[in-house]
Amino acid sequence: MKRFNLRVYGIIINEQDEVLVSDERRFGKSFTKFPGGGLKWGEGLKDCIRREIREELGLNSVIGELFYFNDFFQQSAFREEDQLMSFYFRVDSIAFDEIPTSDHEVPLSVDGEEFRWIKRELLSPDHFTFPVDKLVAEKLC
């Protein structure tokens, strides 16, 4: 059955002009993306990214303006029958010093999720795995 998969991500940039990225390993695949995830029934887009940030980072946040959404067909890398619609919001306020980052190997070799900062001046689409994230990274460079 073909279906839409709505994804919502946060663009988190700290005072040192570094961008937060999520390195993950799931379903036998390692990938790098922006923090965020899937919209649940009954949620608004900003509610979704606030929830995802709370779940992934353990922090509350203030969500800002919509930065980007894909207006083209993008097939899911995990489910061929899914068409992705991805929304990227700026995160206006979060406790940057409480974000749980680590010095970890990329790509991850065990299932899970780790976070790290990349200086925006060094940010490249090549840091990311998925096509829409690559476009967003290009817009941030």
Structure confidence at residue 127 (pLDDT): 97
Structure confidence at residue 83 (pLDDT): 97
How many domains does the chain fold into? 1
Per-residue confidence band for 64, with pLDDT thresholds at 50, 70 and 90: very high
Residue 9 CA, chain-centre distance (Å), reads: 4
CATH of the domain at 48: 3.90.79.10
**Residue-number span of the structural domain to which 73 is assigned:** 3-140
Structure confidence at residue 141 (pLDDT): 87
33-58 pLDDT, tens digit per residue, is 999 999 999 999 999 999 999 999 99
- Residue reference for tokens 């700026």: 90
Contact 58, 49 (CB under 8 A): no
| pTM attached to this predicted model | 0.95
pLDDT higher than threshold 90 for residue 1: no
Distance CA 12, CA 91 (A): 5
